[in-house]
Amino acid sequence: MSTLSCKNLSVTLSNRPIVRDVSFDIASGDCIGLIGPNGSGKTTLFNALSGFVPSTGGSVRLNTTELSKMPAHKRSRAGLGRVFQASGVFRELTILENMQVAFENSALCVSGSKTSARAKIMESLAEVGLAGRERELAGSLSGGQLRLLEIVRACIAGAKVILLDEPTAGVSPKMRGELQTIIKRTQANGTTIFVIEHDMNFISELCSRVLVMHEGELIIQGTPSEVRSNAQLAQIYFGG
């Protein structure tokens, strides 16, 4: 069964169609990439999937749960995590407090589990190189470190699927490698990944399949090599 299923999803904002009749399925534990020119509707699609903008048609299903009418926080509790291009962490809180908020608002939080929760949080921070910094403000982190914090925060909140919006934007080459390692590890632990990214090399190294969006529609789907060799891709980006 597909972990995330989107059928005929459409979004209209200010009487303008932004996402048009989009359908796809992502299998459990897979990593899928989403590419397309700026303004093609990628982030709006993610916003509609995660409940931050209303869809005007279609459905979104996570396993057997229909998400389409749920607000964003209920989609999160159902297992749909989101990492934003512009970091969504609470910069004025400490790194530890960010993780605690994520855990306490998740379906995993059980009364009397503070000790085990703290242990899980510290283990997660250690995995992304943030052990020993838990008392620092999240706002002190670099852009790449904020992405790493968001990823482990989504995991500690119980995400079954994580939507990653341009994780490598504005980060150093070294941090790009660290992000790739953490994303692969997260996937290996059973989490499904759906990632928007402009770096095709990054996508090719991570993803089994790539979706290409243009003017609100999905127009190409295939393996990274199939998408790279598709003549329509150059037409989309360069008009050739």
Q: Is residue 159 part of a domain?
A: yes
Higher-confidence residue: 2 or 45? 45
Contact 212, 197 (CB under 8 A): no
Closest CA to 198 of 154, 149, 233, 147: 233
Name the domain count of the chain.
Answer: 1
Side chain identity at 144, as an amino acid letter? G
Q: Is residue 132 part of a domain?
A: no
Half-sphere exposure of 51 (CA within 13 A, CB side): 19
Least confident among 28-37, 46-55, 86-95, 177-186:
86-95
The pair phi, psi for residue 7, each rounded to 5°, is -125, 115
- CA 132, 119, 90, 11 torsion: positive or negative? positive
In Å, how far are 30, 48, 133, 202, 218 from 208, measured between CA atoms? 7, 23, 35, 12, 17
Q: What is the pLDDT of residue 11?
A: 97
Which residues is 32 bridged to in the sheet? 194, 209
Q: What is the pLDDT of residue 92?
A: 94
Percent of the chain with pLDDT over 70: 93
Which residue range is the domain that position 162 belongs to? 2-87+141-238
Q: What is the pLDDT of residue 111?
A: 46
Higher-confidence residue: 148 or 238? 148
Res 22 pLDDT > 60: yes
Half-sphere exposure of 62 (CA within 13 A, CB side): 24
Residue found by looking up tokens 């605690």 in the block: 100
Q: Is residue 104 part of a domain?
A: no
pLDDT in tens, 130-149: 999 999 999 999 988 999 99
Query: What is the pLDDT of the chain when averaged over all its residues?
Result: 91
Least confident among 47-51, 105-109, 163-167, 169-173:
105-109
Instruction: Collect all residues with Cβ–Cβ distance below 8 Å to 226 and sequence separation of at least 6.
Output: none
User: If pLDDT is split at 50, 70 and 90, which confidence band does 107 have?
Assistant: low
Reported as type and span, the H/E element at residue 11 is: strand 2-13
Segment 9-14 shows an average pLDDT of 96
Q: Is residue 109 part of a domain?
A: no
Contact 146, 87 (CB under 8 A): yes
Q: Is residue 177 part of a domain?
A: yes
Q: Is residue 219 part of a domain?
A: yes
CATH number of the CATH domain containing 149 = 3.40.50.300
Q: Is residue 96 part of a domain?
A: no
Q: Is residue 154 part of a domain?
A: yes
Q: What is the pLDDT of residue 145?
A: 92
Res 71 pLDDT > 80: yes
Q: Cβ atoms within 10 A of the Cβ of 81, count?
A: 27
